[in-house]
Amino acid sequence: MSDVWRMIGRRLLFGCLTLFVISVVIFGATELLPGDLARQLLGQSATPETLAALREQLGLNAPAPLRYWNWLTAALHGDFGVSMANKRPIADLVSARLGNTLFLALYAAALAVPLALILGVLAALWRNSWFDRAANSLALTSISFPEFFVAYILVLWLAQSGLFPSMVRITPGTTFGARLYMSFLPALTLTLVVTAHMMRMTRAAIINLLASPYIEMARLKGMSPLRVILRHAVPNALAPIINVVALNLAYLITGVVVVEVVFVYPGLGQLMVDAVTNRDIAVVQAVALIFASAYVLLNLIADVLSTVTNPRLMHQR
C-alpha cells in the first residue's frame, strides 16, 4: 500500500508541475496577442488620460512576471477577476457554464463507454468476421471526420426532420428530461467521435491476450468464447482500457469547444469563444486553465488506475 501512495504522490507532484508550466504558457500566449487591450476596450476615440487610467486599473503597467504571479495566486484562491465584457466576476460566469459542460460530457460518456466496450468485446469475439470489419470501418470513418462535420451531418439528418433541436436552449428551470432531449445531438456527436478510439483499444487489448497460455487453457477446459473473454481476457486488459477511457473522458470535457459552438450550447467552450471574440482576456485565461486542470487531473486518474490494475507495473524490477 505504501508503494501505491508513493506512486500517487509522484504523479500528483508531476501533475502540479505540468499545470504550472501550462499556466505560464497560457499567460504568455495571451501576452503575445497583438494590439492594446485598453484601446480595444475603450475604442479609438479614447483619450490618453482614460487609456492610462484603465491600464492602471487593469494592472497593465506592472511587469509581466508580477502580473502573472498576481493572476496565478488569485486563481489558486478561486478569484479569476472580473469580465470586462460582462462586468461580472469570472467565477460566476464559469460556475454557471461549468455545470452544463460537465452534464454534456457525462451524458456523452454514459452513451460512449458502454457502447465502446460492447463493440470492442464483440469485435474481438468475432474477429475477422463481417461484424468486425464493419465495426472497424465505421470506427475509422468516425475518427477521420472532424467534430463539426459530424455535428452538421447530424443536424442535417435529425434536426431538419424535426426529431431534435439544432440549438440547445438551457435555462435554470429546465427539467432533467428536457436537458436530455435538447442535448442529445451534441452528446451524440461527441459519442461518435470518442467511441471509435475506445472500441479499437478494447478490441486490440483483448485480441492481444487471446494468445496467452492461460486463455488457451481455459479454451481446452471447454469454456465458451464469450465466457473466456469476459472472465479471463477483460480483467487482464483493464489497464489499457481504463487508460483510453479516462483519456477520452478528458477529451469530452476539454474538446467540447467546437461542438458547443455548432449547437450554441451554453457551456465553457461557448464562453471561451465569446471571450476570444470580445477580447476578454481574463475569461480566456480562466477557461483555458480550467480545461488544462481537468485534462491533467483525468490523465492523472488514468495513470494511477492503469498502474494499480496492472501488477507488473506496480512491482517493476
What mean pLDDT do residues 307-317 have?
A: 61
pLDDT of 302: 80
Give CA–CA dist 246/240, Å, rounded.
Answer: 10
Task: Indicate whether 54 and 103 sit together in one domain.
Answer: no
pLDDT of 180: 92
169 pLDDT above the threshold of 90: no
Question: Is residue 113 included in any domain, yes or no?
Answer: yes
User: 130: how many CB neighbours lie within 10 A of its CB?
Assistant: 8
* Cβ within 8 Å of residue 170, ≥6 positions away: 100, 179, 182, 183, 265, 266
pLDDT of 146: 84
Name the pLDDT band for 21 (thresholds 50, 70, 90).
very high
Question: Is residue 89 included in any domain, yes or no?
Answer: no
pLDDT of 187: 93
What mean pLDDT do residues 241-245 have?
A: 81
Instruction: List, for residues 33-69, the tens digit of each pLDDT value.
Output: 776 667 666 666 777 778 778 777 777 778 888 889 9
pLDDT of 1: 54
Q: Are 56 and 67 in contact (CB under 8 A)?
A: no
Q: List the domain range (segments joined by +) for residue 217.
A: 96-314
Lowest mean pLDDT among 33-47, 111-125, 163-177, 201-215: 33-47
Question: Is residue 90 included in any domain, yes or no?
Answer: no
Task: Indicate whether 7 and 107 sit together in one domain.
Answer: no
Task: Indicate whether 133 and 15 sit together in one domain.
Answer: no
Grid cell digits, residue 290: 480550467
Task: Indicate whether 170 and 309 sit together in one domain.
Answer: yes
170 pLDDT above the threshold of 90: no
Task: Indicate whether 152 and 207 sit together in one domain.
Answer: yes
Task: Indicate whether 22 and 163 sit together in one domain.
Answer: no
DSSP state of 222: T
Residues in the chain: 317
Lowest mean pLDDT among 131-140, 260-269, 302-311: 302-311
20 pLDDT above the threshold of 80: yes
Give CA–CA dist 191/113, Å, rounded.
Answer: 9
pLDDT of 23: 92
